[in-house]
Amino acid sequence: MSLSLNQFLTLYSWFPLAVLLMFMLLIGRFYEKFSGTRTYFRWFAVPVILFGVGCVRYASVMKLNGDWLADLMLGGAGIFLLPLSIRLYQVMVTQK
């Protein structure tokens, strides 16, 4: 089974995204550890998994768009990531 350029780029794009989200997880863990305020950093793993499932799904169906399950996974990951990012921002910026 050969890997097309579209499949390769779809799967490759997930790795930088996963690294970025893992940095956010580590930043959240750092702030929770030293400030004592909950950042829910463990929940950053959920968008990583959902983005990964969506990318694998797109690579497996050999389509650039239009797969409802992959769209649902990617959209769910973004919606899940939004409140986590806002919470982390609030913890980092607000002064006590």
- Residue pair 70/50 in contact by the 8 Å Cβ criterion: no
- Residues 21 and 11: their CA atoms lie apart, in Å, by 16
Domain boundaries, the chain: 5-93
- pLDDT tens series, the chain, 96 aa: 566 887 888 888 889 999 999 999 999 999 999 988 899 999 999 999 999 999 999 888 877 677 899 999 999 999 999 999 999 999 899 866
In the numeric block, which tokens belong to residue 73?
Answer: 């996974």
